[in-house]
Chain A
Amino acid sequence: MSDTPAVSVNHLTKVFKGHLGKGAFRAVHDVSFTVQPGEVYGLIGPNGSGKSTTMKAILGLLNATEGDTRIFGIPSMEVASRRSVGFLPENPYFYKHLTGRETLHFYGKLCGMSGDELKSRAEEMLALTGLEDAATRRVGGYSKGMLQRLGLAQALIHEPRLLVLDEPTAGVDPSGSRIIRDLIIEFRTRGITVLVTSHLLEQMQEVCDRVGIMAHGRMVREGRLNELIAVENQTELVLENASPDLLAKIDALVKAEGGGTRLLRSGHPRTTLERLFIEATNEPKKP
């Protein structure tokens, strides 16, 4: 597994056929990217930009209309490719008659686990996601955030090398989503590759090594996060307790300097990934 990418997506295009040939919809248009082993890769984009569709294609749940997707070099349509991947779909739901623990046992058995190995692994996952207290309750009574955590536990049950997380923090409270963020950071230190989508850009900026920004089914920006958000010819000063006087002086200084130097803006700093996101996704739509 030396330099085989954890995920490779090559010119993926997905067209959803409409009813009776009408209303065909191109949800993903010629998207390519690779995720290297050990990396945390963030896929971001507005609603309906094709992030979930791309993930489903990677997991072989959808057939690619064109192009191909691979997991550790194995084509997604082969069942063997799913041995080393854990998937958390958006808004996951489980058999509501099972308890949280039974749900984990069920998914573990599907992965060929059994006996004490499975039992201890399930307990470990319940502890990791903070569901120990709810383990004996029926999933039908779980809240949205609890389902999300159970989804994460389920994705991790067979110790996959790759995690594909579709909005792991949707519906999770702020402290819960912080826990999930910390988990992702921990996965990275353990060498687990993560492909994640989220609308919480601040958190994405904290965890991702690389990001891809999608809009209208296309990849509009792609690369290392640091490089993407660095604007080489701009400098940001962040001041604390600055008086209006001081700001006016700085402004005057800048004006006195002349040449190409201008004060572009002052105010509270925004997360830079967010700025990039809005800029990238508001570009005019390509045909």
Chain B
Amino acid sequence: MSQASPSSAAASVAPVRFSPKRVWTLAYATMTQLMRMKILPFLLLFCALVAAMGFGFSTINPEQQLSQFKTMSLGVLQVFSIVFGIVATALLLPKDMEDRTLYTILSKPVPRFDYLLGKLLGVLMLIASGLVIIDAVLSLILWLQQSMLFTSAVSQLHSENQDSPEAVAQIREIVARQGLTWNLHWAVWAIFLKAAVVTTVALLLSCIASSTLFTIVITFCITIIGHGHAMIREFVFQPNLGSTATRIATFLLATICPDLAQFDVVDSVANGEIVPWAAVYEMTGIAALYMTVYLFVTHLVFVEKEL
């Protein structure tokens, strides 16, 4: 073969670089694709549900009512965002493969990493926008409820002739602590971070298996295991429990599964405890680290993948 030294010809060609614009194109397409899967009605249903919950409870006492409302709605929100992240991700990649849209996309000068990142960002952007909307709705409901509860409590005190300034101030303080604070937004942020980590795991699994059902089932298992991370670690580091083999297996499991309990601030938020800034930073950092590692592994798998 007397080709004009192909290696030198190849060397003179500039490699295709990572391009945020291209990733955005892919992410935007992913987002619109998911929107067409009738996500919006779901979101509205959720908002209606939360609103009904907020106003539907019988008044027990102001503190409990507010706290219960937050626990319930944030809990539902957490489940909703994780389920959405897993299912959407599990559907996307196999669908692109089956439809052969992947052929047309990857036969353009598109690095496979850009494609992966685009898909992930698309899902995350949709989750984020959903959460922003719901955060706004929650805040509104909480604020309304807070003022309603405050006036009713004060009028009750008034009718009992006990509305001393101190008593009113105390009620205001209780209601304000349980009502709308920054804590609510941090809780929503934590929910987003957890969903983002789980979504990245789902992307990794769907790259390995390219089967929707497998991805969904296994990611759910990992999510559940991830919540019991502390328990697993305890088991591994207890010297007198289980055989070495099971301990090694459990240790591996703990290494593979993300420690999702890191993101559980919902309880403390519901109890009206203040979430410190440091905790928010830490949470965000941990999530970023997990996602970087999973995305890197996903990339390694996807680059070698036969389409």
Q: Is A89 within 8 A of B9, CB to CB?
A: no
Q: Is B304 an interface residue (CB 8 A)?
A: yes
Partner of B32, one of A61, A75, A87, A97: A97
CB distance from A190 to the nearest CB of B (A): 21
Partner of B103, one of A10, A89, A109, A111: A89
Q: Which residues of B contact A10 (CB under 8 A)?
A: 1
Please judge, given known A-B contacts A4-B3, A73-B9, whether A83 and B109 are in contact too, CB under 8 Å: yes
Q: Is A61 within 8 A of B36, CB to CB?
A: no
Q: Which residues of A contact B108 (CB under 8 A)?
A: 82, 107, 110-111, 158
Q: Is B3 within 8 A of A110, CB to CB?
A: no
Q: Is A80 within 8 A of B100, CB to CB?
A: no
Task: Provide the B282-307 mask, 1 if CB < 8 A to any CB of A, else 0.
Answer: 00000000000000000000001011
Q: How far is the CA of A60 from the CA of B306 in the complex (A)?
A: 9
Q: Is A42 an interface residue (CB 8 A)?
A: no
Q: How far is the CA of A38 from the CA of B88 in the complex (A)?
A: 44
Q: Which residues of A contact B275 (CB under 8 A)?
A: none
CB distance from A226 to the nearest CB of B (A): 25
Q: Is A3 within 8 A of B4, CB to CB?
A: yes
Q: Is A151 an interface residue (CB 8 A)?
A: yes
Q: Is A85 an interface residue (CB 8 A)?
A: yes
Quick one: closest B residue to A62, CB to CB? Answer: B306
- Interface residue SS majority, chain B: loop
Q: Which residues of B contact A106 (CB under 8 A)?
A: 25, 29
Q: Which residues of A contact B14 (CB under 8 A)?
A: 80
Partner of B19, one of A61, A83, A112: A112
Q: Is B16 an interface residue (CB 8 A)?
A: yes
Q: Is B104 an interface residue (CB 8 A)?
A: yes
Q: Which residues of B contact A59 (CB under 8 A)?
A: 103, 106-107
Q: Is A63 an interface residue (CB 8 A)?
A: yes
Q: Is B103 within 8 A of A97, CB to CB?
A: no
Q: Is B3 within 8 A of A61, CB to CB?
A: no
* Contacts A/B (CB < 8 Å), 15 sampled: A3-B4, A8-B3, A10-B1, A61-B307, A72-B9, A73-B6, A74-B6, A78-B13, A79-B15, A82-B110, A89-B103, A107-B104, A110-B22, A110-B25, A151-B104
**Which B residues from 213 to 245 make CB contacts under 8 A with A?**
none
Q: Is A97 within 8 A of B33, CB to CB?
A: yes
Residues of B near any A CB (own CB < 8 A):
1, 3-4, 6, 9-10, 13-16, 19, 21-22, 25-26, 29, 32-33, 36, 99-101, 103-111, 304, 306-307
Task: Provide the A145-166 mask, 1 if CB < 8 A to any CB of B, else 0.
Answer: 0000001001100100000100
Q: Is A80 within 8 A of B6, CB to CB?
A: no
Q: Is B110 within 8 A of A79, CB to CB?
A: yes
CB distance from B116 to the nearest CB of A (A): 13
Q: Is A233 an interface residue (CB 8 A)?
A: no
Task: Provide the A78-114 mask, 1 if CB < 8 A to any CB of B, else 0.
Answer: 1110110111010111110110000000110111101
Q: Is A73 within 8 A of B3, CB to CB?
A: yes
Q: How far is the CA of A97 from the CA of B92 in the complex (A)?
A: 14
CB distance from A64 to the nearest CB of B (A): 11
A73-B6, A97-B36, A164-B107 given; 5 more Cβ-contact pairs under 8 Å? A95-B33, A97-B33, A106-B25, A107-B105, A107-B108
Q: Is A5 an interface residue (CB 8 A)?
A: yes
Q: Is B10 within 8 A of A74, CB to CB?
A: yes
Quick one: closest B residue to A10, CB to CB? Answer: B1
Q: Which residues of A contact B10 (CB under 8 A)?
A: 73-75, 78
